[in-house]
């Protein structure tokens, strides 16, 4: 009977040990993933604020509204390539309003025609800005 009790105690101890390890690994992986997503969010928001401050968003939105869509898309894609590390994919969408009236939206992805898959986590940041006689919201999605 002593051998049975001893082996039962060891089985319970191992069960507790493995359960604790499983919980610890899960928490660590979740924390790391959340931290990585937060860093990408902060980086993308910083880029949007910088593009707004430089006047880049205003000038490209103005070009889009005035019919220079190909040139503006090319400049935006080139800018996204220069500020984001390889391996990330980005889409910036500009929603343009005139007063309270919706005018149009323009979306540019980098690389061209890149779309998120089901397994991708999309991280979004946004800023608003004013150009010419319009208001706009820029939404930057990274995956």
Instruction: Parse the chain into domains and list their residue ranges.
Output: 2-142
Write the pLDDT tens digit of every residue in 43-70: 999 999 999 999 999 999 999 889 898 9
Contact at 8 Å (CB) between 115 and 134? Answer: no
**How far is 125 from 135, CA to CA, in rounded Å?**
17
1 pLDDT more than 70: no
pLDDT value at position 31? 59
Rg (CA), the chain: 24
pTM over 0.85: no
pLDDT value at position 97? 94
């Amino acid at each position: 009977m002593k051998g049975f009790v001893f082996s039962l105690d060891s089985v319970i101890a191992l069960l507790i040990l493995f359960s604790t390890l499983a919980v610890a690994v899960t928490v660590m992986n979740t924390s790391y993933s959340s931290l990585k997503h937060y860093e990408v969010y902060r980086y993308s928001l910083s880029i949007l604020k910088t593009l707004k401050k430089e006047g880049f968003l205003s000038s490209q939105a103005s070009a889009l509204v005035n019919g220079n869509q190909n040139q503006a898309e090319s400049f935006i894609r080139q800018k996204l390539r220069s500020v984001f590390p390889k391996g990330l994919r980005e889409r910036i969408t500009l929603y343009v309003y005139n007063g309270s009236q919706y005018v149009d939206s323009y979306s540019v992805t980098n690389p061209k025609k890149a779309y998120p898959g089901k397994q991708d986590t999309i991280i979004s940041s946004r800023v608003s800005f004013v150009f010419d006689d319009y208001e706009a919201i820029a939404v930057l999605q990274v995956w």
